[in-house]
Every structure is written in C-alpha cells, then in structure tokens.
Amino acid sequence: MTLELESANYQFSPLAGFDPRWKLLGFSLAIFLTALINSPFAATFAFLLYLVLLFQVCPFPSWRNPKLAWVALGLLLFSLPAPLLATGQPLKSFSGLAITREGISLGAMLFFKGLAIACLGLCLVGSQSHHDLIRGLQGLGVPAKIASVFWLFIRYLDLILEEFKRMRVALAGKGYRPKNFLQHAWQLSRLSGNLLIRAMDHSNHVSMAVLARGFQGSFHSLDGFQSSRKDGLLFIFLLLTGLGILALDRGVFLP
C-alpha cells in the first residue's frame, strides 16, 4: 500500500518535528481567514504566498504537484462558468450569454482562493503522518469518535485511490488505450461502481484489522505532545499572515 494522500517523505519536511496541535490550529486559522477573502487581488496574493510556503514545507514535487494540479482542475469547473453567470457590466455577449467583468473577478477570486486553501492544506498534511494529525485533533479536544471518522475517511480515500490505480493498470494490461479524454472519462465512469465496491471491501479489511487489535475509537501514542517556542512562532506567523492578507483584501493598506 502506498498511502497516496500521505507524503512518504513527510519526516524530511522542515515542519515535521512541530507539535501537531499548534500546526493544526495555525493552519486551520489561516484556512479560515483565507476563506473570508473577497477580492481576486488578495486571493492571488494569498495563493502566491502560500505556494512559496508549500514549496518550502513540502519539497517533494512527485507528491505535491499532482495533488495541486487536481485541485486546480476541480476549481476550474467552478471558476470557468463564473464569468457567464454573474450579473454586471457585460464585456462581450454571444448567444444570449454575457461575459461580465464581475464574473471574471468572481471566477479569478474563486480559483485563487481555492488554490491558496489547497496550498495550506497540503502544507499541513504533507509535513506529518495521518496518525499524528489525528492525535493532534484529539489533543485539541476533538471527540475521539469524530477524530476516528476523520482518520477512516482519509484512510478510505487512500484505498479508493489505490484501487483506482490498480484498475487503470489492469485496463492498460488488457490493451485498453483511450482515444480521447471523453472516451477515457466515459470508461472510468463505467468502472466507478466496481471501484467503490472494491474499495469498500478493502476498507472493511482495514476496519476489521484495527478492531482486531483492540481499537475502540481512540488513538493513543507512545510519546506525548511536546510544544516549544518554535510551535508558538509558527502559529503567530500563520495568524499574522492570514490577518495581513485579509487586511489587504479589505483595503486597510489603501490610502
């Protein structure tokens, strides 16, 4: 098993040794503040800043880049129609549809805000193991059952991705060569039912395996949490950066 969502090199991240509770708190707050951004300029600025942070925190291109690319593709689905859907001053009209300035602005804001949030999320999950992430959640007072649901969700998503990979290899092994993207997408959608059944079967084994080892919904660890000054500094950095970008968004720095 490769654990698609977990970075294989997370222990080499500069943030690997940080207390997961502070990291969770800091990145969650930064994500929340980023979600409040309304202007495309501030969203773009946030994206560029957090992209630099992501490159520093997760220097593992083979893990980081495909995930960012998939998020970008997903965001395009929401951002591309925005210029046609938002009301405002039309820049160009065709077939009863109008591209508006406000729509372009909205699309750009959605796209870059989404990417900025994705960068923060990848910084968080790319710098520690899932296990520590869940322990951190429990350490912050999240009920054990909710933390377990979160862990199982991540783990099951991993299994679905892994089964998807296997099915693609199996298809290629049987000589399947898609002629175009649409044909490929159609074939994959036909296989999605099978994929879910296989992933569910696999996830059932994982769930039984942890139950067989006495798991009762709560994660324990050999080592307790250890906070130091660097954890506080990281939290303050993320808080101030988030607040600074929000201030930029609200025009606080304008004369």
Hey, what are 131's tokens? 């296990």
Q: Which of residues 224-253 bind another protein (CB under 8 A)?
A: 224
**CB neighbourhood size of 202 (10 A):** 18
Report the sign of the C-alpha dihedral through residues 192, 194, 197, 199, in that order: negative
Q: In this structure, are residues 116 and 241 in contact, taking their beta carbons and an 8 Å threshold?
A: no
Listed ranges 24-32, 36-44, 198-206, 235-243: which one lies at the site for another protein (CB under 8 A): 198-206
194 contacts another protein (rule: CB under 8 A): no
35 contacts another protein (rule: CB under 8 A): no
Listed ranges 30-38, 142-150, 189-197, 205-213: which one lies at the site for another protein (CB under 8 A): 205-213
213 contacts another protein (rule: CB under 8 A): yes
The binder of another protein chosen from 39, 88, 99, 129 (CB under 8 A): 129
Q: How far is the CB of 174 from another protein (least distance, A)?
A: 23
Q: What is the DSSP letter of 151?
A: H
Q: What is the spatial distance between Cα 89 and Cα 69, in angstroms, rounded to a whole number?
A: 32
Query: Could you identify the residue written with the tokens 């591209």?
Result: 99
92 contacts another protein (rule: CB under 8 A): no
| Closer residue to another protein, CB minimum distance, 64 or 155 | 155
Query: Could you identify the residue written with the tokens 């773009």?
Result: 44
202 contacts another protein (rule: CB under 8 A): yes
CA 23 from chain center: how many Å?
15
Give me the torsion for CA of 176, 180, 182, 184, rounded to 10°.
20
| Closer residue to another protein, CB minimum distance, 183 or 221 | 221
Q: Which of 84, 86, 109 is nearest to 99 (CA)?
A: 84
4 contacts another protein (rule: CB under 8 A): no
Listed ranges 35-43, 74-82, 127-135, 170-178: which one lies at the site for another protein (CB under 8 A): 127-135
Chain positions contacting another protein, by CB under 8 A: 1-3, 6, 8, 11, 129-132, 155, 202, 205-206, 208-216, 220-224
